[in-house]
Structure 1
Amino acid sequence: MGWLSTIIVGFIVGVLAKLLHPGNDKLGFIMTTLLGIAGAALAGFVGEALGWYAVGEAAGWIASTVFAIIILAVYTRVIRKR
C-alpha cells in the first residue's frame, strides 16, 4: 500500500502544482505524477530535516505542493531554453 499511496499523493500534488503554476507546461499523466512525487519527497526531506513539521501533518501537503511548483518552474525554464 505504500507505493500506491505515494503514487496517489504524487498525482494529487502534481495536479495542484500544475493548477497553481501559470503557463502551459504540456506535462502528461506520468510526468505530472512524477512531478508530485518529487515535490513530496523533497518537501518531506527538507521539512522533516529542518523540523518544520512531522509526518502526516497538513503542512506536509502544502510544502509538497510548493516544492512541486518550484520543480515545475525550474523544469519549464530549462525546457524553454532548448
Structure 2
Amino acid sequence: MGFFGFLLLGLIAGAIAKLIIPGRQGGGWLITLVLGVVGALLGGWIGGLIFGGGLQEFFSIRTWLLAIGGSVVVLLIYGAITGRKSRT
C-alpha cells in the first residue's frame, strides 16, 4: 500500500473510530488523520503479532478492521490523556 493510500486509510479509520466511540471527542480533521494513522500503525503491528500479518492491501477487510480497531484504541488513549469527558 502506498503512502497516500495509508493516509486515506488512516483518515477514514479515524473518522469511523470517532463514530464508534460514544460521546464527543475534540479535534478536527488533522487530529483525526493523525490518530487514524497512528491507530492504523498500531492495528497493523498488533495484527502482525497475533495473526502473522499486518496491513496488506487497501481493499482487504482485515486491513480495515485492524486499522479501525487500532484507531479506537488510540482515540480512547487520546481521550484519557487530554481529559475529555464523554457526554451521552
Distance 1:45 1:35 in 2: 15
- Of 34, 57, 69, which aligns to 1:66? 69
Number of corresponding residues: 81
Percent sequence identity is 27
Distance 1:52 1:15 in 2: 27
**TM-score, scaled to structure 1:** 0.84
Runs of 4+ deviating beyond 6 Å: none
Greater helix share, 1 or 2?
Answer: 1
Bigger shift: residues 44-53 or 71-80 = 44-53
Is 1:53–1:60's contact at 8 Å kept on the other side of the alignment? no
Superposed, which structure 2 residues align to 1:7-22 within 5 Å? 7-22=7-22
**TM-score, scaled to structure 2:** 0.79
Which runs of 5 or more structure 1 residues have no equivalent in the other structure? none
Q: Describe the SS at the equivalent of 2:51.
A: coil
Distance 2:69 2:50 in 1: 16
